[in-house]
Amino acid sequence: MDIKKQIKLDIISMKPYYTLKNLIIPLGIVLIYSYINKSPFVMLSMTLSFAVIFSTFPFLLGENSGIDGLYKIFSIDSKKVVIGRYILAGFIFIFANLIGFSIYIIISLIKNMPVGLDMSMLIGINFIIYSVIISFQYPMFFKYGYTKAKTFGYLPILIIGILGMVIGAFIKDFGPILKFVEENESMIVIGLVILIVIFLTISIKLSINFYKKRDF
């Protein structure tokens, strides 16, 4: 079975959970919070949260339905399974942000607010955070399974949240930081892209090794 078919199988297993009933609550929460705030940018952090949650579904459903075990029983290449899950995580991120961006446009029009051109930067920040979280979570899920790893899997989210609060408490004026970012934008973007590629590469290699050795 190739990677494309494996991704389709994961999507099919997740499909029953992506019903209007299950999606209406998170969509409603995002809409309400985006509307009551002065800027709908708050929905970006919520979009990221939902993307991270949904990215764990293939492991949850694969474990509960026994699909992961079947992959091993039928000697499906572990490398293909791992790469397929990472590609699917990318699709989930894109889908979540498309919905988030659509909501942002709708709320901006309703509240007669200009559509910020820095939206791409904010989505880029979301992608960096998402990649870091995925790079930490996925090797643990492949090694221990969703049930055993889920508690520690959300550790990076907690750490990022704490770091955000600490930075916000100690740095009162972000002006100099923003100025530095603007003056060195290209260098920073290139550096971050390199780091993300390194994180994901290490994460994928670890996941492949863990999944090969895992007993079901």
Q: Are 115 and 105 in contact (CB under 8 A)?
A: yes
pLDDT > 90 fraction of the chain, expressed in percent and rounded: 20
Whether residue 90 has pLDDT greater than 60 = yes
Report the pLDDT averaged over residues 93-117: 76
pTM score, two decimals?
A: 0.83
| pLDDT given for residue 164 in this prediction | 64
| pLDDT given for residue 26 in this prediction | 67
Whether residue 165 has pLDDT greater than 70 = no
Whether residue 159 has pLDDT greater than 80 = no
Positions of E strands within 122-185: none
Whether residue 88 has pLDDT greater than 80 = yes
Rounded-to-integer distance, Cα 157 and Cα 143, Å: 20
Whether residue 39 has pLDDT greater than 70 = no
**What angle (nearest 5°) sits at the alpha carbon of residue 168, between those of residues 167 and 171?**
75
User: Which one has a higher pLDDT value, 11 or 29?
Assistant: 11
Q: Is 96 exposed, middle or buried (0-12, 13-18, 19+ CB in 10 A)?
A: buried
Confidence band, pLDDT 50/70/90 cuts, at residue 41:
low
Rounded-to-integer distance, Cα 42 and Cα 79, Å: 37
C-beta atoms surrounding 99 within 10 Å: 18
Rounded-to-integer distance, Cα 157 and Cα 145, Å: 19
Spans of all domains in the chain: 3-213
Report the pLDDT averaged over residues 121-131: 85
Whether residue 125 has pLDDT greater than 80 = yes
Distances (CA, A) of 192 to 45, 140, 159, 167, 186: 19, 24, 19, 19, 10
The DSSP letter of residue 116 is P
| pLDDT given for residue 93 in this prediction | 93
Compute the mean pLDDT over every residue in the chain, rounded to the nearest whole number: 79
